Chain A
Amino acid sequence: MKHKYLTSTALLLTFATPAFAVERSEVLDTYMNIAAANYADSLTTAQALQTAVNAFVADPSAEALQAAKNAWLAARVPYQQTEVYRFGNAIVDDWEGKVNAWPLDEGLIDYVDNSYGGPSDENEFAALNVIANPTFTLSGQEIDATEITPEFLSDTLHEADGVEANVATGYHAIEFLLWGQDLNGHGTGAGNRSWTDYAAGDDCTNNNCDRRADYLVAATDLLVSDLEYMAAQWAEGGEARTTLTDNTDAGLAAILTGMGSLSYGEQAGERMRLGLMLNDPEEEHSCFADNTHNDHYYDGLGVQNVYQGAYIRVDGSLVSGPSLSDLVAETDAALDAEMQGKLSTTMMSLGRIKTAAEAGFAYDQMLERGNAAGEALVMGGVNGLIDQTKSIERVVTTLGLDQIAFEGSDSLDDPDAVFQ
């Protein structure tokens, strides 16, 4: 067992015992196999959501709406675990805005409460309400939205006017259409949209029920087709795989880039700490469904999955193989133990947020001004994520990948230094 070497011994043996060596290419294979399974699971759970949504709009009822909500919540479990693939794989990062963009100005899509306000400095379409407005003007052009189709949502409405908050597609747009605005502020309770927002004839509440149903169906269809695309990229021979296998070390660097960028800048910073410091319930990742505790938990789990080279599929089966952990342990067993320990600490902290939320202490209550217990819970997760990022940087160095640019930008791309 390579894990049992003392550090000094391991360093010596690294060079002496190639028979024990974990092949870097095998570690990359495991990473890609997990991705393939994880995106395939995201697709099948989205198809289940599609079935539930179609049944609901065909015959609206409170029960059918609840079934669609349950399907949405289930679909988030595998999807959130894929987020660790985002930073590090350009093919994912370029695509993910279609399916998981957030935060959104939901007034673009449907009716909102008066407290939401109208167009803002940042976004003049913040209150467009396309469900109520079959035609409107966008950047001087008359737009025909009489038919709400997947193409209209993805090509015209999404990021309309170049504003990122104009999120017209993906999980969070669907979430809004199922739950509606959460008007409970820092109190308990999620959005409380009535099933009658989709009812036929006189039973229809808040008008335009048919257009709302068209939107929900179109957005769900689009989610499924977008996930079909991504699942195919990770299947045998898919582009995401061939890009990674072009250069094994660049592939390993991509794994670590994904782990570190998600842990620190995205999850600890943008999604958790900022919302806490702003005391703003709108800063919840899933603010309509009050599912943010699960978003955070499964994001964290995805990071742990790719380090340990193991993923539990939605059918309960295990996908696993030679892992980064094995590779690091071979060179520096103490560092592997440190990395494992920090990932576990983070999962414990994220688990505390999840258990508290499931027991009734909603994530938006945790964000409230002066709520010390909530602040401690959220900061526990943030601190774990920041702390594990330091160890991820050490892993990068130990594996000799330190000239990796953790997240480059267009302006810095220079062709002879970039592997595409």
Chain B
Amino acid sequence: MKRFALALTLLATPLAAQVDTPDAVIGDVLNGHILPRFEALADSTQVLANAALDDCNPTSESLRRAYGDAFDAWVMASHLRFGPTEVGDRAFALAFWPDSRGATPRALGTLLADKDPIAATAADYAQVSIAARGFYAMEFLLYDDTLMTADDTAYHCQLVQTISGDIAATAQNILDDWTPDYAAAMQSPSSDGIYRSNEEVLQEMFKSLSTGLEFTSDTRLGRPLGTFDKPRPTRAEAYRSGRSSAHVMLSLQSLQDLAARLAGDNADLADALDASFVRAEAQLSDLNDPTFAGVADPASRFLVEVVQQSVDGIRTIVRDELGPTLGVAAGFNALDGD
């Protein structure tokens, strides 16, 4: 990707006074947004692990439902990439995507062919390549025409159960680090702490909003869009399980919640942000294209582009208005680079 621009906004003056104290905003984002999401992720992934133990058949309705619920919970937390999710390989082990070199099907294919005994326990499996772990690997085992079947169904079953168990363990580890330690570090910055000031905490929260929007625009929508001459519908996220559009919707709804909390008592800004999210979500739901297959057709492609433009419109408000209001800027994120 060769997109680059050095942007420097001229005015750093707050557009309106922040009425809420930083403490109140931080507490609200922590208790109303972050912690509930990681609790839901831990709970729903445990349900998934149990469902896989009950019935590991890839077409099992209860398994697929539990998988869908847990994946939903991840997508709603997927922008919160700092602190506990970044310890070791946790977030990557839950969600390795995009996979531009096809590492996931290759790694799963090798495990299945070798009947690699590493899949015997979730604890051992934590050593395996992230390409064969997490929700995106599970999608191949449950929905890919080739990988949902195996000569050795017992091994396939074990793999489904072990990956589910590994996902649940990772989600629990993330939650355990959040409560109480990491939450406390954000609530009470100190000169020798992870965060030295409320501004650094707010910057982290703001960064997760801006990075989440960037990922949804550039990757969740941008990858299948490709270019007009070369649309790439098979690069849509989780298209095998028909979840591509749903992921965009879930991420927008989750980011909308975060944006509202960060805007706090600033009613004008909160309204502007809310209206921009509502518009993007309405356009997406009108699209009615679960896998973005329509990117290959000029007429329906245009509608996907409209959604992307609306998400970029939200990004502009976030960068130019919310950031200065909070007195923070985006900072560096994991998507920098190419």
What residues of chain A have their CB less than 8 Å away from a CB belonging to chain B? 87-90, 93-94, 97, 103, 120-122, 139, 161-162, 164-165, 247, 249-250, 253-254, 257, 260-267, 269-270, 273-274, 277-280, 282, 369-370, 386, 389, 392-393, 396-397, 401-414, 417-420
Contacts and interface: CB of A to CB of B under 8 A. Distances in A.
B217 A411 contact: yes
Contacts of A411: 217, 308-309, 312, 315
Contacts of B128: 279, 369
A404 B1 CA distance: 21
A409 B337 contact: no
A162 to B, nearest CB: 5
Contact of A406 (B86, B127, B229, B336): B336
A403 B9 contact: yes
Contacts of A164: 1, 100
A264 B334 contact: yes
* Interface SS, A side: helix
B218 A277 contact: no
B129 A277 contact: yes
B268 interface: no
B131 A162 contact: no
B5 to A, nearest CB: 4
Given A261-B336, A411-B217, 5 more contacts: A260-B332, A265-B337, A403-B329, A406-B332, A409-B214
Interface of B: 1-12, 86, 89, 92-93, 96, 100-103, 127-131, 199, 203, 214, 217-218, 226-227, 229-230, 234-235, 308-309, 312, 315-316, 319-320, 323-324, 328-338
A392 B3 contact: no
Shortest 4 CB-CB contacts between residues of A and residues of B: A265-B336, A266-B337, A405-B7, A265-B337
Contacts of A417: 7-10, 320
A277 B328 contact: no
B163 to A, nearest CB: 15
A297 B217 CA distance: 33
Contacts of A266: 336-338
Given A265-B333, A277-B92, A412 B130 contact: no
A94 B2 contact: yes
A404 B227 contact: no
16 contacts: A87-B337, A103-B101, A122-B101, A122-B235, A139-B229, A162-B229, A257-B6, A273-B89, A278-B96, A279-B129, A389-B332, A403-B10, A404-B7, A405-B9, A406-B332, A420-B5
A15 B29 CA distance: 38
B336 A407 contact: yes
Contact of B332 (A121, A165, A392, A397): A392
B6 A403 contact: no
Contacts of B102: 120-122
Contacts of A88: 6
- By CB atoms of chain B within 10 A, which of A87, A401, A411 has the most? A411
Contact of B331 (A263, A369, A393, A409): A393
Nearest to B196: A394
A124 B214 CA distance: 28
A250 B336 contact: no
Interface centre among B86, B323, B335, B337 (most CB of A within 10 A): B337
Contact of B333 (A94, A162, A406, A413): A406
A249 B8 contact: yes
A249 B8 CA distance: 9
B8 A419 contact: yes
B336 to A, nearest CB: 3
A165 B101 contact: yes
Contacts of B308: 411
Interface centre among B96, B333, B338 (most CB of A within 10 A): B338
A52 to B, nearest CB: 30
Contact of B127 (A369, A396, A402): A369
A186 to B, nearest CB: 12
B35 to A, nearest CB: 23
Given A266-B336, A417-B320, A278 B5 contact: no
Nearest to B214: A409
B230 A403 contact: no
A313 to B, nearest CB: 27
B5 A409 contact: yes
A309 B316 CA distance: 35
Contacts of B92: 273-274, 277
A161 B229 CA distance: 10
A412 B7 contact: yes
A162 B226 contact: yes
A320 to B, nearest CB: 25
Contacts of A389: 332
A369 B129 contact: yes
A282 B131 CA distance: 14
Contacts of A254: 6
Nearest to A260: B332
B227 A278 contact: no
Given A90-B6, A122-B100, A419-B8, A402 B337 contact: no
A273 B199 CA distance: 28
A336 to B, nearest CB: 16
A393 B277 CA distance: 29
A162 B103 CA distance: 20
B332 A393 contact: yes
B7 A418 contact: yes
Contacts of B218: 409
